[in-house]
Amino acid sequence: MKISTRGRYALRLMADLANNPNDEYIALKEISQRQEISIKYLEQIVSTLCKAGYVKSSRGVAGGYKLAKPAEEYTVGMILRLIEGNLVPVKCMENEPNCCPRYEKCATIGVWERINDAVNGVVDSITLAELVNNPHSVEFGCKE
Amino acid sequence: MKISTRGRYALRLMADLANNPNDEYIALKEISQRQEISIKYLEQIVSTLCKAGYVKSSRGVAGGYKLAKPAEEYTVGMILRLIEGNLVPVKCMENEPNCCPRYEKCATIGVWERINDAVNGVVDSITLAELVNNPHSVEFGCKE
DNA sequence: TGCATATCATAGTAATTATGTAGGAATTAG
DNA sequence: CTAATTCCTACATAATTACTATGATATGCA
């Protein structure tokens, strides 16, 4: 029941971008240093975010990345779900709807559905803006 | 963000035991056949449950396992947490309390804490008895 | 006593996933 | 032209997962 490092790093990357007050592109190198995450690993993660249209990129000197939309318009769920593929607690819930051949007889599926709803309830209710404005966080330095 | 098969199998094993009306010991072989799970794999899982005092065992002919307490006294959380070790979504929450050196500055820890609370809220509120009495489940056959 | 049926203990293994690294091509500002 | 950057794809490695295998130990019963 763990969030992968890719998912956690993606959130920190997005939070780092959201924390940038100006509308300029930020190079991965900078983020890499601030977050202490390998630049090569960040490249892969930001590539997914870019293809999904979550961030905009600019190549060449003085290039980098910035959020495509205001931080208020991203939820934690959007970001995690994009990077992780999904957040469902069991494989049989990955493919819609109720694909398990024994769904009707399953004693435990109700548990997984309720866990799924609970997790979604949390991640879909927190925006990137709330993450950044959290007084708890002056920096984004936590290893997670 | 997946529950391991061990966790899922443990829940099915416990549900199978809880579904047994009489107070007799049930051999793993039976459960193995009903649940279509390798008996050797079940042995490992039930061993953990046994050492924790969740089930009682009887060796030899006509031996097997049965619940140590009424099904009402087990929550899904107890069982999953025992088998999985823990259900926290990030490693830095595994060791109490707030062991991460940058906890105070972490922007994302709040997300993980809320996910954790949400998951615990679900699994700690469902008992084994509720699982078995669920009209949804006549059998416990779902692969999950 | 001897055998069949169980649990109990520990080690091994194959496959998958997670977590990165490496190298270099393409693009662009100055 | 050059330096800085994104972009692309393959490779490497470590950890975890999900079993499998072997055999010891205990028990009831004929």
Shortest alpha-carbon distance between residue A36 and chain B (Å): 13
Residue-wise pLDDT tens digits, B34-76: 999 999 999 999 999 999 999 999 999 999 999 999 999 999 9
Element (H, E) at B135: none
**Do B108 and A132 count as a contact with CB atoms less than 8 A apart?**
no
Chain A residues touching B141 at Cβ < 8 A: 102, 105-106
Give per-residue pLDDT as tens, A29-86: 999 999 999 999 999 999 999 999 999 999 999 999 999 999 999 999 999 999 999 9
Q: Is A141 a residue whose pLDDT tops 50?
A: no
Q: Residue written as tokens 């396992």?
A: B65
| CATH code of the domain made up of A5-133 | 1.10.10.10
Nearest Cβ partner for B143 among A92, A104, A142: A92
3-state secondary structure B88-133: CCCHHHCCCCCCCCCHHHCCCHHHHHHHHHHHHHHHCCCEHHHHHH
Q: What is the predicted pLDDT for the residue at A106?
A: 78
State residue A101's pLDDT score. Answer: 65
Q: Which residues in 55-74 of chain A line strand C, with CB less than 7 A from it?
A: 58-63
**CB of A138 less than 8 A from some CB of B:** yes
Chain A nearest C-alpha distance from B126 (Å): 8
pLDDT value at B104 more than 80 = no
- Nearest Cα residue to B1 out of A109, A85, A52, A124: A85
pLDDT tens for A98-126 read 566 666 667 899 999 999 999 999 999 99
Put simply, whether B95 touches A (Cβ < 8 Å) is no
